[in-house]
Structure 1
Amino acid sequence: MPSNDPGAIFDRAAINAKVRASLPFKHRYHNRFHLEMPFGLINDPNGLVEKDGITHIFYQWNPLGVEHKHKCWAHTQTRDFVHYTAPELALWPSDAHDKDGCYSGCGLVEDGDVRVLYTCNAKDAQGVRTPAQRFGTLQADGTIRKDEIIIPTNAEGYTGHFRDPYVFYRHGERYLVLGAQRADETGTVLVYHEDKDSKTWEPCGEISTKYKDFGYMWECPNLLRFGNYDVLLFCPQGLEAREYKYQSRYQCGYLAGHLSLESMELMHGRFQELDKGFDFYAPQVYNNQGRHILFGWIGMPDEDAYPTKEHGWVHSLTMPRVLTLRQGKIFSQPAKELRELRIADSAVDIDATETQHVRAGLGEGAEALIDITFGKAQSVTYTLAYGLERVTIRYDRPSQTVVIDRSGMKYGGKGTRTFKLFTDQNLSLQLFVDKTVVEAFFEHGEEVATFNVFPEKYILPELLIESDAPMENVTGRVWELDAYQYR
């Protein structure tokens, strides 16, 4: 007879042993400096928190297959974003509240403990969803003890799409934001406040914005503070693609301004996307020594163009990015700790003048830091060449646009992404090229684009820089990057 225990299908010891036996990664599609798993499907980063100099990174994981089912949390930790503990299964469906998945949530330190707050997902026989928000505590054995449920179901006037809690603090008080879908199937974010005396969480209402009908669901909200400015980061689903924005299946972006918790109104500017690539979603941000550090999911819900599924795993997390706010816009840059991945004796300098062609070989993992002074050039194309396969990044000065084109690859997703990037005489590009992941930082992080590439054959890529007329100057440096180390 089948077991009535929802957790019976998860053998933690066997799953953890299988992960350890798979390290270091051996398949040519496994990345060197991006967190991923040797088997199963990963998605949203969760529970990001620093305690005693250690960053705890949790993320969604299905250890039983490459489908969006059996949602668990994996856990790894690091002091330097280079050395990591071997990932382990930390949280999995085990009771009536979360039998259909341990969904996304956040992390915090409370009374000296690492705690998490996550969404329990349970469905009845008719498929009706009951979401509950539950605290948990990280134990010495690496598991999360399931503790109190603070919000037992979705609020009246909202559907069962009611998830992804994120705790924030104001004036010594604790609040949380939740992603939600109204009964009329439009997305929003709700706020709850903790009553210190009763230890209950009371609803404060929706955050009022100018975007009343902006997608059918707002997932993964983060409420951040940059000096005197508030930033509401969230993932709206169901936006219609436009010429220069909203080109992925689902979006991720932010509203920057000032939030009044008394009136529940956010005075803000326009919605801006965090990443202009093909494969970026569900980021989470946490505080690390005064820095806002982001991890994102390199993937996209409900899309199948990921050939590693055939080999038993799928998806990665981004490198850690430091966020800053400048004149209402978020800039993203790789955490400085990642410089330790540079293999010093591999460095190759680039210094060319009055040229239309520059070529640089890249290793299995590489970083390229390139600055161009345009001169007479009106169009500049960066090409990642894998033999005959090509990915191109083209900048057009007259239209001030970037076009990323993956149509020249045999496997994986295809198509283009086009976005505006305003610059004058110079263009800076910092490019991280892993085995199947590219993270491109334009103009010192003013724009970022994350995407997957899956070369048909094992060929080390070359970086080609070409222009329609002579570029005045091309300078930079290319490094081979070491791999993350697991212990």
Structure 2
Amino acid sequence: MQNKDRSLRKKAYEEIKKYQEVVDSDPYRLDYHLMPPVGLMNDPNGLIHWKGEFHVFFQWMPFKTGHGAKFWGHYSSRDLIHWTWQPIALTPSEWYEQNGCYSGSAVNHEGKLNVFYTGNVKNDKGERETYQCLAVSEDGIHFEKKGVVIHLPEGYSAHFRDPKVWKHQDKWYMIIGAQTKEQLGCAVLYTSDDLMGWELKGEISSSKEHDYLGYMWECPDLFHLDDIDVFMFSPQGLGSQGIHYNNVHQSGYVIGELDYDRAVLHHGPFCELDRGFEFYAPQTTLDDEGRRILIGWMGVPDQDEEKQPTRAYKWIHNMTIPRELRVKKGKIRQSPVKELKKMRRNLFQKKDLKVNDESLHLSELDGAVMEVFLKFGDADAFNRFEIDLFDYAKVIYQNETKVLTLERKNVDNKSIESRSCQISKLETLQLFIDHSSIEVFVNEGEEVFTARIFPDKKNASIHFSASGSVTFDLWKWDLTGYTYQTSEKAMREANKNP
């Protein structure tokens, strides 16, 4: 299918050229988040630190701002700030992937980059077929497809996808998100000696163990961190429970220990990974420093995607900033990677700022691209603290209930919606603001809120207000943003004829 692959690549590159000026003219285009050059971006795929470079592949639909037969787009970086757009990694050119090269992962084996992904097929009757596939690269850029390595086993629906592969001791393991014939979400474990032949070990966990945790588990990731095993996944079909599970689909984790011999994960309760509006399908990798790095999709499937204003500019969705993970007191902590500090410019600092039953506006905080850090004094001396962001979103802390809330206008600007979490005490807030996104790190990553925001660009003001007396120290930096370039290989490929 080399001709079909070349044809698909050519059409995708033509789409980039056709709409580049339109995409670039969008005032909501971001400065320091990975975005599609055109079309729709969703799940991060194949996140890996390989031969000194970070590789971020991603689900990509270049021909529209809706879902369809996905490609794998590809960015790379040595420092998580300077990014290179690489040639398209995968196109849905083969029979076993003709309706999309769906999500997957990457590993290093014998110096080669091996990517595993789900081939999605709709047959002549409109029925879904699913295949777990392998492609191999010697340079991290060009991939040779090896075909199907796992077919759908008995007992599961065709919602069987998103393979994550890792090595433990002398064996390879793969975890796949799945749905049973009874429409219950679960995760299954395979093992292999050579990455080609795979043996099904069994279900390591399922919705039944959690007194129902959704009808499908997507994007599984299992890793060892701070002496425990973390199983991260995105369950679909959870109903809201108070301040929990308020997005259409959720992402979270359980902590425990995987019994590799018996294929059983002994674990605690499910915890949401992010409390905001747009966060889904996170994926992690281990870098050469031993850090566990996470990147998530700043979007949620089936959740107001058709209302996003960027669609008028021929693109939609983006990734989160890279985050380092740790486990503290049995809970995941997320911190912005240290490399992002290199983007800081023009420090503005104020000590012992006081807000006492009044509103405070600092002109130094006007702008659309910044990092703001607040460190609070006696957090019990006030009833309510509020940060109004551009008259569009608010961060609100209620001291009596210990509830922190991110509130915003819905993307149609007609209603107010909110997401909340409970904390023991408000100590710090760290805000990353980027034209049309916000990421709020609470108490140095104890909780995180991720969201898209689409304020009137004429209103670039931040206001603080309080009920009672609030004292805090403030640091603010302008952020220079990512540096992008297109690799010579990508430029040559874009100019080729099919």
Counterpart Cα distance in 1 of 2:107 and 2:143: 13
Please list the CA deviations of residues 391-447 of structure 1 after superposition, one character each: whole Å capped at 9, or x if unmatched: 111111111111221138764985111221221xx4210000100010000010000
Q: Is the 8 A contact 1:19 1:38 kept in 2?
A: no
Identify if the C-alpha distance between structure 1 residues 259 and 375 changes in structure 2 by more than 3 Å, giving closer, same or farther.
closer
Q: Which has the higher helix share?
A: 2
2:98 is the counterpart of 1:99: yes
Counterparts of 1:471-486 in structure 2, within 5 Å, are 471=470, 473-486=471-484
Identify if the C-alpha distance between structure 1 residues 200 and 38 changes in structure 2 by more than 3 Å, giving closer, same or farther.
closer
Quote the offset at 1:234 in angstroms.
Answer: 0.4
Indicate the residue corresponding to 2:435 in structure 1. Answer: 435
2:361 is the counterpart of 1:363: no
2:381 is the counterpart of 1:376: yes
2:277 is the counterpart of 1:260: no
Q: Is the 8 A contact 2:176 2:187 kept in 1?
A: yes
Counterpart Cα distance in 1 of 2:264 and 2:372: 43
Q: Secondary structure of the equivalent of 1:89? A: coil
Counterpart Cα distance in 2 of 1:244 and 1:413: 18
Counterpart Cα distance in 1 of 2:107 and 2:17: 29
2:295 is the counterpart of 1:295: yes
Q: Is the 8 A contact 2:251 2:280 kept in 1?
A: yes
Greater Cα shift, 131-140 or 286-295: 131-140
Identify if the C-alpha distance between structure 1 residues 412 and 317 changes in structure 2 by more than 3 Å, giving closer, same or farther.
farther
Q: Is the 8 A contact 1:369 1:477 kept in 2?
A: yes
Identify if the C-alpha distance between structure 1 residues 23 and 371 changes in structure 2 by more than 3 Å, giving closer, same or farther.
farther
Structure 2 residue corresponding to 1:320, chosen from 319, 322, 332: 322
Counterpart Cα distance in 1 of 2:415 and 2:87: 30
Counterpart Cα distance in 1 of 2:19 and 2:227: 45
Identify if the C-alpha distance between structure 1 residues 354 and 142 changes in structure 2 by more than 3 Å, giving closer, same or farther.
closer
Quote the offset at 1:139 in angstroms.
Answer: 5.5
Counterpart Cα distance in 2 of 1:36 and 1:191: 32
2:159 is the counterpart of 1:161: yes
The aligned amino acid for 2:382 is A
Q: Is the 8 A contact 1:258 1:267 kept in 2?
A: yes
Counterpart Cα distance in 2 of 1:443 and 1:19: 45
Greater Cα shift, 238-247 or 258-267: 258-267
Indicate the residue corresponding to 1:200 in structure 2. Answer: 197
Identify if the C-alpha distance between structure 1 residues 20 and 143 changes in structure 2 by more than 3 Å, giving closer, same or farther.
farther
The aligned amino acid for 1:213 is Y
The aligned amino acid for 2:217 is W
Percent identity for Structure 1 against Structure 2: 33
Quote the offset at 1:51 in angstroms.
Answer: 1.5
Please list the CA deviations of residues 260-298 of structure 1 after superposition, one character each: whole Å capped at 9, or x if unmatched: 122222221110000000000001000012011000000
Counterpart Cα distance in 2 of 1:257 and 1:305: 39
Identify if the C-alpha distance between structure 1 residues 13 and 221 changes in structure 2 by more than 3 Å, giving closer, same or farther.
closer
Indicate the residue corresponding to 1:182 in structure 2. Answer: 180
Q: Is the 8 A contact 1:139 1:145 kept in 2?
A: no
Identify if the C-alpha distance between structure 1 residues 7 and 130 changes in structure 2 by more than 3 Å, giving closer, same or farther.
farther
Counterpart Cα distance in 2 of 1:450 and 1:438: 6
Q: Secondary structure of the equivalent of 1:444? A: coil
Counterpart Cα distance in 1 of 2:410 and 2:45: 34
Please list the CA deviations of residues 98-122 of structure 1 after superposition, one character each: whole Å capped at 9, or x if unmatched: 0000000001111112221111111
Greater Cα shift, 46-55 or 315-324: 46-55
Structure 1 residue corresponding to 2:334, chosen from 332, 335, 344: 332
Quote the offset at 1:23 in angstroms.
Answer: 11
Q: Is the 8 A contact 2:190 2:201 kept in 1?
A: yes
Q: Secondary structure of the equivalent of 1:415? A: strand
Counterpart Cα distance in 1 of 2:389 and 2:262: 50
TM-score in terms of structure 2 length? 0.90
Q: Is the 8 A contact 1:305 1:413 kept in 2?
A: no
Identify if the C-alpha distance between structure 1 residues 37 and 13 changes in structure 2 by more than 3 Å, giving closer, same or farther.
closer
Indicate the residue corresponding to 1:46 in structure 2. Answer: 45
Indicate the residue corresponding to 1:18 in structure 2. Answer: 17
Identify if the C-alpha distance between structure 1 residues 199 and 310 changes in structure 2 by more than 3 Å, giving closer, same or farther.
closer
The aligned amino acid for 1:363 is G
The aligned amino acid for 1:352 is L
Identify if the C-alpha distance between structure 1 residues 24 and 309 changes in structure 2 by more than 3 Å, giving closer, same or farther.
closer
Counterpart Cα distance in 2 of 1:184 and 1:412: 39
Please list the CA deviations of residues 209-236 of structure 1 after superposition, one character each: whole Å capped at 9, or x if unmatched: 6326310000000001013311110000
Identify if the C-alpha distance between structure 1 residues 242 and 226 changes in structure 2 by more than 3 Å, giving closer, same or farther.
same
Q: Secondary structure of the equivalent of 1:240? A: coil
2:89 is the counterpart of 1:90: yes
Quote the offset at 1:138 in angstroms.
Answer: 3.1
The aligned amino acid for 2:318 is S
Indicate the residue corresponding to 1:112 in structure 2. Answer: 111
The aligned amino acid for 1:435 is H
The aligned amino acid for 1:428 is T
Counterpart Cα distance in 1 of 2:449 and 2:414: 17
Q: Secondary structure of the equivalent of 1:316? A: coil
Counterpart Cα distance in 1 of 2:481 and 2:382: 36
Q: Secondary structure of the equivalent of 1:208? A: strand
Please list the CA deviations of residues 204-259 of structure 1 after superposition, one character each: whole Å capped at 9, or x if unmatched: 00003632631000000000101331111000000010112001110000010111
Identify if the C-alpha distance between structure 1 residues 4 and 75 changes in structure 2 by more than 3 Å, giving closer, same or farther.
closer
Identify if the C-alpha distance between structure 1 residues 275 and 199 changes in structure 2 by more than 3 Å, giving closer, same or farther.
same
The aligned amino acid for 2:407 is D
How many residues matched?
475
Counterparts of 1:436-451 in structure 2, within 5 Å, are 436-451=436-451
Counterpart Cα distance in 2 of 1:409 and 1:119: 32
Q: Secondary structure of the equivalent of 1:290? A: coil
Counterpart Cα distance in 1 of 2:319 and 2:178: 24
Greater Cα shift, 477-486 or 369-378: 369-378
Counterpart Cα distance in 1 of 2:124 and 2:23: 42
Greater Cα shift, 433-442 or 22-31: 22-31
Greater Cα shift, 374-383 or 56-65: 374-383
Identify if the C-alpha distance between structure 1 residues 305 and 410 changes in structure 2 by more than 3 Å, giving closer, same or farther.
closer
